[in-house]
C-alpha cells in the first residue's frame, strides 16, 4: 500500500498524535458517540500537549506551524479511528486570527490559545440565508464605542464546550452596500463573559455537539473586531479555504481507515470455504476506492502548498476541489466498508459510526453542489448559477 510521505519535522508531530491516539482508541470514540458525549478527556489532553496552539506564532508560545501541518494532524486522528471534528475549529479560526486580527487582539488571546485554555467556534450560518452568507440577518448596531448585536445563528459547532466565538454580523444592511460582500464584520466574543446569548442544541445523526444561537443585545467592543469593520468577508473566505483543506485531510484519513478495515475483514471473513476477499465482487470495490484515495491525496498535497499563499483565487480553487473529491471518495469508501462487513457493518460499530460521521461532509461546511457551482464560475468562467 502506498503511504502518504511527510518530512521529518511533520513526522515528529504525527508521532505525538499517534501517542495520544494510542490512549484514545476506537472503543473510546464508539462509547462517546453512543452516549452522545463530548470527548472531554481527549480534547483536554490534546490541548495540554500544545496541539491546539499549533498555528499560533512562536512569539506567543504557539507551534508556529501552518495549515499544512494542521491538515496532516487532523488526517492522522481520523486515520487512527478518531474524530477530529472536535478540534478542527481551533485551527481554521486560528488561521483567520493570524491573518486578520490586530496586534492588540493577538496579544490578548494568542497566549491562552497556545496554552490550550481557550477553545474556539464560529457563528456564521443562518437558517434563512444558508450557503448565501451575504444575506445574513444578524445585525450589529454601533452605539458609542460598542456594537449591540441581535440575530440568530444555526449549526454552530462545539458551542457548549468553547470559550471564544467568532461571530459574523452585518454592520451595514445588504440594501445599503454596492457589493453584497461589503458590510459584514467579524467579532471575537469572549463566551465566558458574554451576555445576551442563548443556545439550543440541534440533535444530528452523529455526535456533533452543534447548536442554534439566539443573540439578543450582545455587546461587543470595537477592540473585538477581527480585521476591519464592514470588511470581514475576505477574512472569512481565507479561513473557510483553510477549513476545506483541513476537512479534506480528515476525509482522506477516513477513506484510508475504511479501506484498511474493509481489507482486513475481507481477508479474515471466511464464507463457502474461502475468504470473501478472494471474490472479485468484494476486492474490486476496495481496490477502486484505494486507487482513488491515493489520487486525491496527490491533489491534497498540492492544496497544502498553496492554501496559505497570497493568491486567494488559487487557494480557493484548490481547497474547493480537494474538499469535493475527498468527500466523494471517503463516502464511497464508507459504503464499500459497509458492504464488505455486511450485517456487522450495519450493527453499532466503528464502521457504522464513521459512516455517519463521513456523511456530514457531503453537505457541510460547503455542499457538493455548491462546490461544483463555485468551480464552474470561478475556474471555468461559466455564468453564475445561483
* CATH at residue 136: 2.40.110.10
Please check whether residues 262 and 190 belong to one and the same domain.
no
Which DSSP string corresponds to 296-322?
Answer: HHHHHHHHHHHTTSS-HHHHHHHHHHH
For residue 73, report the phi and psi dihedrals to the nearest 5 degrees.
-65, -45
Q: Which of 230, 245, 264 is the last residue of a domain?
A: 230
Please check whether residues 53 and 177 belong to one and the same domain.
no
Nearest alpha carbon to residue 250 among 85, 67, 122: 85
Tens-digit pLDDT profile for residues 30-85: 999 999 999 999 999 999 999 999 999 999 999 999 999 999 999 999 999 999 99
| Helix spans in the chain (H) | 8-21, 26-34, 40-48, 67-79, 85-100, 103-115, 233-268, 280-306, 312-341, 343-346, 350-359, 368-378
- Distance CA(108)–CA(104), nearest Å, equals 6
255-265: average pLDDT = 99
Q: Based on the number of CB atoms within 10 Å of its own CB, is 115 exposed (0-12), middle (13-18) or buried (19 or more)?
A: middle
Q: Which of 77, 101, 119 is the last residue of a domain?
A: 119
* Residue 1 included in any domain: no
Please check whether residues 73 and 195 belong to one and the same domain.
no
pTM given for the model: 0.97
Tens-digit pLDDT profile for residues 184-234: 999 999 999 999 999 999 999 999 999 999 999 999 999 999 999 999 999
* Residue 168 included in any domain: yes
* Residue 33 included in any domain: yes
* CATH at residue 61: 1.10.540.10
* Residue 384 included in any domain: no
Please check whether residues 242 and 371 belong to one and the same domain.
yes
Residues of the chain above pLDDT 90, percent: 96
* Residue 160 included in any domain: yes
Please check whether residues 202 and 272 belong to one and the same domain.
no
Q: Which of 230, 254, 282 is the last residue of a domain?
A: 230
Confidence of residue 111 (pLDDT cuts 50, 70, 90): very high
* Residue 346 included in any domain: yes
* Residue 13 included in any domain: yes
Nearest alpha carbon to residue 2 among 375, 262, 313, 252: 252
- Distance CA(343)–CA(340), nearest Å, equals 9
Tens-digit pLDDT profile for residues 325-345: 999 999 999 999 999 999 999
- Distance CA(215)–CA(94), nearest Å, equals 23
Please check whether residues 21 and 142 belong to one and the same domain.
no
Contacts within 8 Å (CB) and 24+ apart, 115-118: 115/47, 115/50, 115/53, 115/61, 116/46, 116/47, 116/48, 116/49, 116/50, 116/51, 116/52, 116/53, 117/47, 117/163, 118/163, 118/164
Q: How many domains does the chain have?
A: 3
Please check whether residues 261 and 357 belong to one and the same domain.
yes
Task: Say which residues have a Cβ less than 8 Å from residue 212's Cβ, sequence separation at least 6.
Answer: 152, 153, 154, 155, 156, 199, 200, 201, 202
- Distance CA(331)–CA(258), nearest Å, equals 10
Which DSSP string corresponds to 44-60?
Answer: HHHHHTTGGGTTS-GGG
Please check whether residues 48 and 140 belong to one and the same domain.
no
* Residue 2 included in any domain: no
Residue 300 lies in domain: 234-378
Amino acid at each position: 500500500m502506498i503511504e502518504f510521505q511527510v518530512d521529518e519535522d511533520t513526522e515528529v508531530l504525527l508521532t505525538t498524535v499517534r501517542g495520544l491516539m494510542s490512549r484514545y482508541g476506537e472503543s473510546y470514540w464508539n462509547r462517546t458517540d453512543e452516549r452522545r458525549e463530548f470527548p472531554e478527556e481527549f480534547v483536554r489532553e490534546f490541548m495540554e500537549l500544545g496541539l491546539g496552539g499549533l498555528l499560533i506564532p512562536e512569539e506567543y508560545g504557539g507551534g508556529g506551524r501552518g495549515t499544512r501541518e494542521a491538515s496532516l494532524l487532523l488526517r492522522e486522528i481520523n486515520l487512527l479511528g478518531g474524530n477530529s471534528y472536535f478540534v478542527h475549529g481551533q485551527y481554521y479560526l486560528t488561521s483567520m486570527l493570524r491573518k486578520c486580527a490586530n496586534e492588540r487582539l493577538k496579544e490578548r488571546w494568542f497566549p491562552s490559545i497556545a496554552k490550550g485554555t481557550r477553545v474556539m467556534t464560529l457563528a456564521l450560518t443562518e437558517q434563512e440565508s444558508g450557503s448565501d452568507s451575504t444575506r445574513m440577518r444578524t445585525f450589529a448596531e454601533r452605539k458609542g464605542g460598542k456594537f449591540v448585536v441581535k440575530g440568530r445563528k444555526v449549526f454552530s459547532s462545539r458551542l457548549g464546550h468553547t470559550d471564544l466565538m467568532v461571530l459574523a454580523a452585518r454592520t451595514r444592511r445588504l440594501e445599503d452596500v454596492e457589493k453584497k460582500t461589503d458590510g459584514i464584520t467579524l467579532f471575537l466574543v469572549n463566551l465566558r463573559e458574554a451576555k445576551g446569548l442563548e443556545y439550543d442544541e440541534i440533535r444530528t445523526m452523529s455526535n456533533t455537539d452543534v447548536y442554534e444561537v439566539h443573540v439578543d443585545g450582545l455587546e461587543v467592543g470595537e477592540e473585538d473586531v477581527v480585521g476591519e469593520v464592514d470588511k470581514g468577508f475576505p477574512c472569512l473566505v481565507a479561513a473557510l479555504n483553510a477549513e476545506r483543506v483541513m476537512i479534506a485531510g480528515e476525509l482522506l484519513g477516513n477513506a484510508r481507515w475504511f479501506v484498511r478495515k474493509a481489507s482486513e475483514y475481507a481477508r479474515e471473513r471466511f464464507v463457502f470455504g474461502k475468504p470473501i476477499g478472494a471474490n472479485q465482487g468484494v476486492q474490486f470495490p476496495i481496490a477502486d476506492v484505494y486507487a482513488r484515495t491515493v489520487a486525491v491525496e496527490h491533489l491534497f498535497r498540492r492544496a497544502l502548498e498553496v492554501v496559505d499563499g497570497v493568491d486567494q483565487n488559487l487557494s480557493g480553487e484548490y481547497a474547493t476541489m480537494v474538499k469535493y473529491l475527498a468527500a466523494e471518495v471517503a463516502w464511497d469508501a464508507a459504503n464499500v466498508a459497509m458492504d464488505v462487513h455486511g450485517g456487522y457493518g450495519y450493527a453499532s460499530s466503528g464502521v457504522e459510526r464513521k459512516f455517519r460521521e463521513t456523511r456530514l461532509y457531503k453537505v457541510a461546511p460547503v455542499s457538493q453542489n455548491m462546490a461544483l457551482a463555485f468551480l464552474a464560475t470561478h475556474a471555468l468562467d461559466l455564468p453564475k448559477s445561483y
